Chain A
Amino acid sequence: MKKKVIVACGGAVATSTIAANHIVDLCKKNGIDVDICQIRISEIQSNLDNCKLIVTTSKVRRDYGVPLITGMPFISGIGVDKTEKAILDVLKD
């Protein structure tokens, strides 16, 4: 079954699209079937059904009861390996 991942940013869609593209490639390489749901931070709450992971490129303080990882390393290039591993750890099981 496809695993739903929410990718959200606060402002324009550009940074979250870059993060989303990276996650799609990462999951493809690791044989994980994902369904990316790209939305604004304000829309997370109403899209939580079956969601396995949330990746954001803006700061989020709220706890949605779903693992939340910052996608900023996909923009800055710093800490990409660690972030990839964290995403895979959540999605693998």
Chain B
Amino acid sequence: MIWEELNESLIMNHLDAKDSSDVFEKIGGTLIREGYAKDDYVDALIEREKDFPTGLDIGGIGIAIPHTSVDHVLKHGIAIANLKHPVQFIQMGMDDEPVDAQLVFMMAVTDPGKHVDQLQRLVDIIQDRDVLSRLLEADNQNEIISIIKDKEETL
């Protein structure tokens, strides 16, 4: 379950970011400081996003799920932020269509096999628009963890 692996220090509420690079700096920077990722993680995120964008439009709610290859990661984890202002990302699989992301799930992946499993679990959560709406409104870390826990218990 994802909720069991969530760490309060990797959850940011109403994060103030001006663009996607700023999102990568702030959330990715937290993953580096907390020992989850190497110093080059943020640059790797920015590079990968150019080639393989990670924005998704879930029935009108924009989200992004940025990640890198395992080379830039030290330990497996996931950082979550709801944003103070929406930030433009390009949609995954679309390469030119933008989406205004309001929620970011940043994955630090150490094992590509485990990545698929983790992504599948994340996909099960993000496909629920009601869950996304609640995550957007969440004011603290515990609220985010409990929304995800509640959802995962129904799966």
**A binding-site residues for B, Cβ under 8 Å:** 10-15, 17-18, 21, 56-59, 70-72, 74-78
Nearest Cβ in chain B — how far from A57, in angstroms? 5
Within 8 A of A (CB), among B91-140: 92-96, 112, 115-116, 119-120, 123, 126-128
**B binding-site residues for A, Cβ under 8 Å:** 48, 51-52, 56-59, 67, 69, 92-96, 112, 115-116, 119-120, 123, 126-128
B58 touches A14 (CB 8 A): no
B93 touches A56 (CB 8 A): yes
A58 touches B93 (CB 8 A): yes
- With A59-B94, A76-B58 already in contact, the answer to whether A14 and B48 are too (CB < 8 A) is no
Query: Chain A contacts of B94 at CB under 8 A?
Result: 59, 72
Query: Chain B contacts of A10 at CB under 8 A?
Result: 51-52
Shortest Cβ distance from A10 into B: residue: B52
A76 CA to B128 CA in the complex, in Å?
A: 9
Query: Chain A contacts of B51 at CB under 8 A?
Result: 10-11
Query: Chain A contacts of B56 at CB under 8 A?
Result: 75-76
B52 touches A58 (CB 8 A): yes
Instruction: Identify A58's interface contact among B95, B115, B123, B127, CB under 8 A.
Output: B95
A76 touches B120 (CB 8 A): no
Task: Classify the secondary structure of B's interface with A.
Answer: mixed
- With A11-B51, A11-B52, A58-B52 already in contact, the answer to whether A75 and B116 are too (CB < 8 A) is no
Instruction: Identify B116's interface contact among A13, A70, A72, A76, CB under 8 A.
Output: A13
A13 CA to B92 CA in the complex, in Å?
A: 14
A70 touches B93 (CB 8 A): yes
Shortest Cβ distance from A59 into B: residue: B95
Q: What are 8 inter-chain pairs, A to B, with CB distance below 8 A?
A: A13-B112, A14-B115, A14-B119, A58-B93, A59-B96, A70-B93, A75-B92, A78-B57
Query: Chain B contacts of A15 at CB under 8 A?
Result: 92-93, 119
Query: Chain B contacts of A76 at CB under 8 A?
Result: 56-58, 126-127
Nearest Cβ in chain B — how far from A10, in angstroms? 6
A11 CA to B126 CA in the complex, in Å?
A: 21
- With A77-B127, A78-B59 already in contact, the answer to whether A14 and B95 are too (CB < 8 A) is no
Query: Chain B contacts of A14 at CB under 8 A?
Result: 112, 115-116, 119
